[in-house]
Amino acid sequence: PCEQNLSMPHSWFPFARAMQRRVIYHAGPTNSGKTYSAVEALKAADVGVYCSPLRLLALEQYDRLNQDGVACSLVTGEDCREVPGACHVACTVEMANISKRYDVAVIDEIQMIGDLQRGSAWSRALLGVPAAEVHVCGD
């Protein structure tokens, strides 16, 4: 069994902690372009991940990235679509791979970090994703 020692938080997320990460916060109301700006940075990256609160939003970014010529796979709790040669992935936040290095990570709806049921998934993504640039979007 895999157990996390809660008395040693400095030992958590060693890959991300070893990096000099840049965190960029995109704030604003709904339909203000927060996610658009972050996804533009994701598109320009060689390797990237988009983390969504909903399967539908992950699917939307998966479709959009592939339509824009950025090969992107999809990973949710219900669906896994591997695109050959893809260096980008759109996923639900719970499915974020925190052991793979990324150039850019986008964590959407960061305000969900305060949710009692699912907030820990946003904490895990924010603290643990090993990306040089982490874009967080939210209200």
pTM: 0.92
Tokens, residue 99: 């052991």
Q: Residue 3's pLDDT band (boundaries 50, 70, 90)? A: low
Instruction: Check whether 2 has a pLDDT greater than 60.
Output: no
**Residue 9: C-alpha distances to residues 13, 112, 137 (Å):** 9, 22, 25
- What is the per-residue pLDDT for 90? 98
Distance CA 23, CA 110 (A): 12
Averaged pLDDT, 99-119: 96
- Whether 42 and 135 have beta carbons less than 8 Å apart is answered as yes
- Over residues 9-68, the pLDDT tens digits come to 778 899 999 999 999 999 988 888 899 999 999 999 999 999 999 999 999 999 999 999
- Over residues 23-33, the pLDDT tens digits come to 999 998 888 88
Can you list the positions of beta strands (E) in 38-101? 48-52, 72-75, 80-81, 88-92
For the chain, give the mean pLDDT. 94
- What is the per-residue pLDDT for 82? 97
Could you tell me what percent of the chain has a pLDDT over 70? 96
Check residues 52 and 4 and name the one with the higher pLDDT: 52
Instruction: Check whether 1 has a pLDDT greater than 60.
Output: no
On the 0-12 / 13-18 / 19+ scale of CB atoms within 10 A, 61 is: buried
C-beta neighbour count of 135 within 10 angstroms = 26
- What is the per-residue pLDDT for 74? 98
3-state secondary structure (DSSP) of residue 2: coil
- What is the per-residue pLDDT for 84? 97
